[in-house]
């Protein structure tokens, strides 16, 4: 809260005079007359409500923002996001990060927690439309923590569009994860736009849930992939970026950011090559 207060108070004080809009050019509305982009940089990041593992009870949202800023990404799938929760200063972390980075955002609540809401979010350099939350199933272990998928259509320059999702699958039940993946696969099967999904999937690359996900999606990394968790000495892969097999995207690069302070997960970044006009209105 200490890091955010000056910025948020500044915005509040000016609200009656002028909108405290993001200063970054990326957050301004775009038009179809703008030139289409050829690449899209995507990040998945479990931010642990901006609490560095080495500092119990300390919230450093600006540190999370700086990690994202340094990677110059276009889209970010966030997990473990607090909204108006006492432990993190009663801040809407999705909104605050969007303001700090000059990005658009969408938050999807998974559970009520600590007097506020806890869930996943999307940050985008470009405008978002058709935002919605999908509640994921947990019939195998009904007592498990509720999980959701946040979805949005990203309006890219030149009339391009892609569908983007952020999720955080069940941590304890492999059967629940499999059901959740099957639900996501069904959504992908009905999707007409190129579909990129990113998140903390809480499963190893050779698991039944990941094998099921491979039926509808391609991974941004398929061999020699770096581990993502825990942040100090990572020894497992549980954070992924994938894209629908029906899309016309091409992976140009994939890397795990060597960030070992801000969260207990390392961020994952993938760069995609776009076709001349993916997701055009005529597609």
- What gap in Å lies between CA 200 and CA 110, rounded to an integer? 14
Q: What share of the chain has pLDDT > 90, as a percent?
A: 83
Q: What pTM was estimated for this model as a whole?
A: 0.87
**Region 205-213 average pLDDT:** 98
Q: Is residue 22 part of a domain?
A: no
- What gap in Å lies between CA 204 and CA 193, rounded to an integer? 28
- Which pLDDT belongs to residue 243? 98
Q: Give the contacts of 5 (CB within 8 A, at least 6 positions apart).
A: none
- Which pLDDT belongs to residue 106? 98
Residue 279 in this model has a pLDDT that exceeds 80: no
- What gap in Å lies between CA 238 and CA 76, rounded to an integer? 16
CA proximity to 121, closest of 44, 68, 188: 44
- Which pLDDT belongs to residue 14? 34
Tell me the Ramachandran region of residue 281: left when phi exceeds 0, alpha when psi lies from -120 to 50, beta otherwise: alpha
Q: Is the peptide bond before 230 cis (omega within 30 degrees of 0)?
A: yes
Q: Is residue 124 part of a domain?
A: yes
- Which pLDDT belongs to residue 194? 97
Query: What are the tokens at 226?
Result: 């770096």
Q: Is residue 161 part of a domain?
A: yes
Q: Is residue 78 part of a domain?
A: yes
- What gap in Å lies between CA 227 and CA 234, rounded to an integer? 5
CATH code of the domain covering residue 136: 3.60.10.10
Per-residue pLDDT tens for 74-122? 999 999 999 999 999 999 999 999 999 999 999 999 999 999 999 999 9
Q: Is residue 21 part of a domain?
A: no
Q: Is residue 168 part of a domain?
A: yes
Cα 15 to Cα 18, 20, 27, 46, 207: the distances in Å are 5, 6, 18, 31, 50
- Which pLDDT belongs to residue 275? 79
Number of domains in the chain: 1
Per-residue pLDDT tens for 16-71? 333 333 333 345 565 545 788 999 999 999 999 999 999 999 999 999 999 999 99
Q: Is residue 4 part of a domain?
A: no
Q: Which domain holds residue 44?
A: 38-273
Torsional sign, CA 212, 215, 220, 224: positive
Q: Give the contacts of 163 (CB within 8 A, at least 6 positions apart).
A: 151, 152, 153, 154, 191, 193, 194, 195, 196, 279
Residue 196 pairs with which residues in a beta bridge? Answer: 164, 243
**Region 136-150 average pLDDT:** 97
Helices (H) and strands (E) in the chain, counts: 5, 12
β-pair type (268-273, 250-256) = antiparallel
Residue 172 in this model has a pLDDT that exceeds 60: yes
147 φ, ψ to 5°?
A: -125, 150
- Which pLDDT belongs to residue 270? 98
What DSSP string runs through 37-92? PSEEEEEEEE-GGG--TTSTT---HHHHHHHHHHHT-SEEEEEEEEES-GGGTS-B
Query: What are the tokens at 220?
Result: 């941004």
Buried b (16+ CB within 10 A) or exposed e, 240-251: bbbbbeebebeb
Q: Is residue 77 part of a domain?
A: yes
């Amino acid at each position: 809260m200490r890091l955010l207060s000056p910025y948020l108070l500044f915005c509040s004080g000016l609200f009656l005079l002028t909108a405290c809009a993001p200063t970054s050019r990326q957050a301004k509305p775009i038009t179809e007359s703008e030139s289409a982009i050829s690449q899209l940089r995507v990040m998945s990041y479990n931010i642990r409500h901006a609490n560095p593992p080495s500092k119990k009870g300390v919230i450093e949202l600006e540190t999370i923002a700086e990690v994202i800023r340094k990677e110059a990404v276009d889209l970010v799938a966030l997990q473990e996001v607090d909204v108006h929760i006492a432990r993190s200063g009663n801040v809407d972390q999705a909104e605050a990060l969007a303001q700090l980075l000059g990005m658009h955002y969408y938050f999807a609540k998974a559970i009520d927690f600590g007097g506020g809401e806890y869930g996943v979010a999307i940050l985008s350099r470009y405008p978002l439309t058709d935002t919605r939350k999908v509640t994921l199933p947990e019939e195998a272990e009904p007592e498990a923590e509720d999980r959701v998928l946040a979805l949005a259509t990203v309006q890219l320059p030149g009339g391009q569009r892609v569908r983007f999702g952020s999720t955080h699958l069940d941590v304890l039940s492999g059967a629940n994860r499999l059901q959740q993946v099957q639900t996501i696969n069904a959504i992908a099967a009905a999707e007409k736009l190129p579909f990129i999904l990113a998140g903390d999937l809480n499963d190893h690359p050779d698991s039944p849930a990941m094998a099921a996900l491979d039926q509808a999606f391609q991974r941004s990394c398929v061999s020699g992939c770096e581990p993502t968790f825990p942040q100090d000495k990572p020894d497992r892969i549980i954070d992924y970026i994938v894209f629908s097999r029906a899309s016309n995207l091409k992976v140009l690069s994939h890397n795990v950011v060597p960030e070992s302070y801000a969260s207990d997960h390392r961020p994952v970044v993938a760069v995609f090559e776009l076709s001349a006009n993916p997701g055009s209105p005529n597609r």
